[in-house]
Amino acid sequence: MNRTMRVAVSAVLMSGCVSWEPTEIAAPEKVPANRVIRVWSGSNSVRWKGVQVTRESLSGVPASSSTHCTTCRVSMPLTAVDSTQSQSSNALPVILATAPLVFLIASIMSYDSSPTSN
Cα–Cα distance, 22 to 88 (Å, whole number): 9
Question: Which tens digit of pLDDT belongs to each residue from 32-77?
Answer: 888 899 999 999 999 999 898 888 999 999 999 988 888 999 999 9
pLDDT of residue 112: 58
User: pLDDT-based confidence at 107, cuts 50/70/90?
Assistant: confident
pLDDT of residue 16: 58
pLDDT of residue 43: 93
Question: Which tens digit of pLDDT belongs to each residue from 6-22?
Answer: 666 666 665 555 666 77
Quote the pTM value.
0.58
Q: How far from 12 is each of 7, 26, 52, 96, 102, CA to CA, in Å? A: 9, 35, 32, 14, 10
- Greater confidence (8 vs 83) lies with 83
H helices present in 1-118, as ranges: 3-15, 91-112
Cα–Cα distance, 36 to 24 (Å, whole number): 14
